[in-house]
């Protein structure tokens, strides 16, 4: 690495400069991510699904007693439940796929296009570059989950009556607290997606073809979900990332059951630590030829 970084910070203001450089790098990554038509299209699709579900429920009514998940029956009574229904639906595949696309692309895409070499010439250092890229993906995770929740919230309020929320335990909380609890769900699901992003990013450092990392991640998600449905392998379930994504129903209980969500967050953290370190070891040690 030479002194190629022309406008780099000077020694006295090093700490401030480093933060600023970090922020600038993240900013440029984010503007790349959120200006990419493909990513925007994914966000639009994510926003459309809750609206479609809402319209379908409005047109055809909720599922009859005993048919379909009970949560969909709740939606017709209270629009706020559309957020929970939409999130529990999309967290199965559509959200993971869109996160996998962005995260799997992050390193392998640059390698494949031959642009990674130029990024590495800047005096940023590979560790920092990796951290920035991961931070960028985490922002995308939060954004996509928020898009789903917001669109479901607006669609639910527009299509169905709204009011105090009936919790699973039979208690009732005011609308404002319901919205607050939705906020907790958004954060929880985003954390689950961030854990998947770490896996996807590790795969992304192992290949030079972005589609390989993306397909690998989606494949892992499907395999994990398959393993999770086999009752014979129930002992394996707590170790599967997918097992925890849906575990946010604790916010709808009274008193709020935080134990399962707490365990879920620990599982997410474990995935981030393991796969983040794999990505780091691979990314900082390999030869960049692309």
Count residues binding other proteins (CB under 8 A): 40
Tracing tokens 């398959």 back to the chain, one arrives at: 226
CA distances to 41, 110, 202 from 113, in Å:
22, 5, 18
Sign of the CA dihedral with 134 first, then 136, 139, and 141 last: negative
Q: Candidates 27-35, 50-58, 185-193, 246-254 — which segment interacts with other proteins by CB under 8 A? A: 246-254
Q: Which is nearer to other proteins, 19 or 127 (CB)?
A: 127
Task: Assess 112 for contact with other proteins (CB under 8 A).
Answer: no
- Binder among 26, 30, 142, 257 for other proteins (CB under 8 A): 257
Question: How far is residue 253's CA from residue 236's CA, in Å, rounded to a whole number?
Answer: 26
Task: Assess 255 for contact with other proteins (CB under 8 A).
Answer: yes
CB of 87 to other proteins, least distance (A): 11
Task: Assess 284 for contact with other proteins (CB under 8 A).
Answer: yes
Residue 169: helix, strand or coil by DSSP?
coil
Task: Assess 236 for contact with other proteins (CB under 8 A).
Answer: no
Q: Which tokens is 29 given?
A: 């990554």
Q: Which is nearer to other proteins, 59 or 232 (CB)?
A: 232
Residue 36: helix, strand or coil by DSSP?
coil
Sign of the CA dihedral with 31 first, then 32, 36, and 40 last: negative
Sign of the CA dihedral with 85 first, then 91, 97, and 98 last: positive
- Binder among 92, 146, 225, 246 for other proteins (CB under 8 A): 246
Burial class (CB in 10 A: 0-12, 13-18, 19+), 227: middle
Task: Assess 75 for contact with other proteins (CB under 8 A).
Answer: no
Q: Which is nearer to other proteins, 8 or 69 (CB)?
A: 69
- Binder among 234, 236, 258, 290 for other proteins (CB under 8 A): 234
Q: Which is nearer to other proteins, 139 or 165 (CB)?
A: 165
Task: Assess 200 for contact with other proteins (CB under 8 A).
Answer: no
CB of 85 to other proteins, least distance (A): 9
- Binder among 171, 174, 183, 290 for other proteins (CB under 8 A): 171
Give start and end residues of each alpha helix (H) in the chain: 14-35, 37-60, 70-75, 81-90, 94-113, 116-121, 126-159, 175-206, 210-229, 241-245, 259-285
Residue 173: helix, strand or coil by DSSP?
strand
Task: Assess 84 for contact with other proteins (CB under 8 A).
Answer: yes
Task: Assess 2 for contact with other proteins (CB under 8 A).
Answer: no
Q: Are 165 and 68 in contact (CB under 8 A)?
A: no
Q: Which tokens is 33 given?
A: 């991510």
Task: Assess 70 for contact with other proteins (CB under 8 A).
Answer: yes
**Under the rule (CB under 8 A), what is the footprint of other proteins?**
65-66, 69-71, 73-74, 77-78, 84, 88, 163-164, 166, 168-172, 231-232, 234, 246, 249, 252-253, 255, 257, 259, 270, 273-274, 276-278, 280-281, 284-286
């Amino acid at each position: 690495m030479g002194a190629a970084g022309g406008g780099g910070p000077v020694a006295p203001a090093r700490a401030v400069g480093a933060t600023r450089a970090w922020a600038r790098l993240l900013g440029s990554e984010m503007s790349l991510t959120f200006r990419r038509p493909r990513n925007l299209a994914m966000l639009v699709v994510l926003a459309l699904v809750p609206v479609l579900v809402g319209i379908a429920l409005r047109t055809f009514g909720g599922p009859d007693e005993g048919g379909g998940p009970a949560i969909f029956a709740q939606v017709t009574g209270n629009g706020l439940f559309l957020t929970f229904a939409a999130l529990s639906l999309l967290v199965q595949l559509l959200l993971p796929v869109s996160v996998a696309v962005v995260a799997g692309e992050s390193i392998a895409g640059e390698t494949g296009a031959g642009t990674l070499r130029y990024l590495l010439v800047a005096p940023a250092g590979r560790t920092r570059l990796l951290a920035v890229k991961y931070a960028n993906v985490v922002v995308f995770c939060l954004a996509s989950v928020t898009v789903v929740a917001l669109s479901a919230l607006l669609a639910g309020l527009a299509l169905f009556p709204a009011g105090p929320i009936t919790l699973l335990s039979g208690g009732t909380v005011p609308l404002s607290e319901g919205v607050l609890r939705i906020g907790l769900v958004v954060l929880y699901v985003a954390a689950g997606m961030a854990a998947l992003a770490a896996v996807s990013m590790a795969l992304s450092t192992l290949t030079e073809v972005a589609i390989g990392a993306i397909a690998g991640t989606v494949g892992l998600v499907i395999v994990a979900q398959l393993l999770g449905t086999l009752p014979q392998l129930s002992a394996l379930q707590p170790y599967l990332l997918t097992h925890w994504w849906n575990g946010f129903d604790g916010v709808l209980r009274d008193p709020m059951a935080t134990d399962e969500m707490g365990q879920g967050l620990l599982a997410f953290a474990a995935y981030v630590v393991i796969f983040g370190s794999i990505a780091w070891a691979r990314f900082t040690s390999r030869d960049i030829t692309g």
